[in-house]
Amino acid sequence: MLVPVAIAAACGLVLLSLSTAGSGATWTTTTTASGASTGTAQWCAAPDPSEVGARFIRLNSITTSVGTNQQMAIIPVANNTAWGGGGTGSKTLGIRLWGCQTAPVGNLRVTAWSNPTGTITDTWLTGSTVAPASRLSPASGLGALLKTSAQLASETAGLAVITGTPSGDLRRYSWLVANGRTASAPTANPAACATYLIGALGYSCSVTETNSTGGDATFAQLFNVTPWSNSTITATTYTANTMALQTTTGWGATNAWLNSSCVALTLVCTISTTPTTLAATSATDASLLASTNGNQLQWLVIQWTGTTTPPSDLVLEVFLQ
pLDDT at 252: 73
Q: How far apart are the C-alpha atoms of 244 and 223, rounded to whole Å?
A: 28
Check whether 312 has a pLDDT greater than 50: yes
User: What 3-state DSSP class applies to 262?
Assistant: strand
- Sign of the C-alpha dihedral, residues 246, 248, 252, 253? negative
- Mean pLDDT for 189-214 is 71
Check whether 41 has a pLDDT greater than 50: no
Q: How far apart are the C-alpha atoms of 279 and 85, rounded to whole Å?
A: 9
Burial class (CB in 10 A: 0-12, 13-18, 19+), 18: exposed
pLDDT at 308: 92
Check whether 38 has a pLDDT greater than 60: no
- Contact in structure between 177 and 109 (CB atoms under 8 Å): yes
Q: How confident is the model at residue 15 (pLDDT cuts 50, 70, 90)?
A: very low
Q: How far apart are the C-alpha atoms of 194 and 198, rounded to whole Å?
A: 13
pTM of the model: 0.85
Looking at per-residue pLDDT, the higher value among 88 and 159 belongs to 88
pLDDT at 226: 61
Looking at per-residue pLDDT, the higher value among 167 and 110 belongs to 110
pLDDT at 225: 64
- Mean pLDDT for 193-198 is 67
Q: Identify the top-confidence range among 31-40, 109-118, 153-162.
A: 109-118
Check whether 30 has a pLDDT greater than 60: no
pLDDT at 272: 86
Check whether 56 has a pLDDT greater than 60: yes
Q: How far apart are the C-alpha atoms of 167 and 257, rounded to whole Å?
A: 9
pLDDT at 303: 95
Pairing verdict, β 268-271 and 260-263:
antiparallel
Looking at per-residue pLDDT, the higher value among 125 and 101 belongs to 125
pLDDT at 47: 85
